[in-house]
Amino acid sequence: MSASYPRIGVALGGGSARGLTHIPYIEAMDELGLKPSVISGTSIGALIGAGWASGMSGRDIREHAFDVLGTMRTIAGKLWAIQLRGIGGILKNGISMQLDATTIVDSFTPPNFPLEFKDLKIPLYVVATDFQSWHQVVFNSGQLRPAIAGSIAIPSLFKPVTYANHILVDGGVVNPLPLDQADIDTDFLIGIDVNGDPSEGLTKTDHKALDIWFGSAQIMMHSLTAHMMAAYPPDMYIRPHVASFGAMEFWRVREIVEHAEKEKDRFKRILHQKVEDWIADRQEVLPS
């Protein structure tokens, strides 16, 4: 990117399957020829952000997501293979209903996925939560996969990840949209918030227990994001409408991406204009 362009920081928020809506926005930046100087990510934002930081294009990420998440059978096959690989542990410790986040990262990332942060092409900041100290932990060096695993480890659904002297759970518990990390040495800050909104549930009354659990987490993350935005106001804030998709409905990947794609052209127009305005504001007025 030319020195005349702003250094762009992009914060990719957490939202489980709804986070697949990040993909069209990455494609939009690719189509504008804009590469971020810094990427930060929480939960699925950390996973997708790592793919982006590794050099994958938005199109690459889309095709990989369709390949590994495209049907319930594909996902179930991978999860069953994970269980079979852990059969020794099952025999020793009994069956656990909790998933192993590290194995999930290994199973759903491309074969040649980088092992360490230093192998990435764009600086990446991964946010997780330290369950013991109640603080956020930010990783940008060392091993990549366990950092991502800690960031995606949704409490109860995943076993906590023990790494680098921390017991880690999902980064969304403390920082669902890590604007603070994408604001490091950048000129232009973009936040993509995939947590959703209450619109679909305003008139619903027959909530299942899982709906209450995930919905309560969404409310908490919405409040945390509001505080983060007050401290680190983004130049562009994106919140796609994702309420019609369940938090764990990863097999609907094509629908989710196509749904978000409707906003891609508008995002491109606004981003292009804002970058042009930024450049114009900084050009020196030459004497006549």
CA–CA gap between residue 53 and residue 121 (Å, rounded): 6
Q: Is 170 a catalytic site residue?
A: yes
Per-residue pLDDT of the chain (288 residues; tens, 9 = 90+): 555 889 999 999 999 999 999 999 999 999 999 999 999 999 999 999 999 999 999 999 999 999 999 887 888 877 766 655 544 444 444 445 688 999 999 989 999 999 999 999 999 999 999 999 999 999 999 999 999 999 999 998 899 999 999 999 999 999 999 999 999 999 999 999 999 887 665 667 777 887 787 788 889 999 999 999 999 999 999 999 888 888 889 999 999 999 999 999 999 999 999 999 999 988 765 555
Residue that has been written with the tokens 């194995």 in this structure: 103
Specify the pLDDT at position 288: 55
Q: Tokens 């996969």 belong to which residue?
A: 145
Length of the chain: 288
Give the pLDDT score at 209.
Answer: 81
The catalytic position among 100, 170, 180, 183 is: 170
How far is it, in rounded angstroms, from Cα 272 to Cα 283?
17
pTM tops 0.85, yes or no: yes
Out of 40, 43, 54, 151, the active site residue is: 43
CA distance 172 to 183: 18
* 235 catalytic per annotation: no
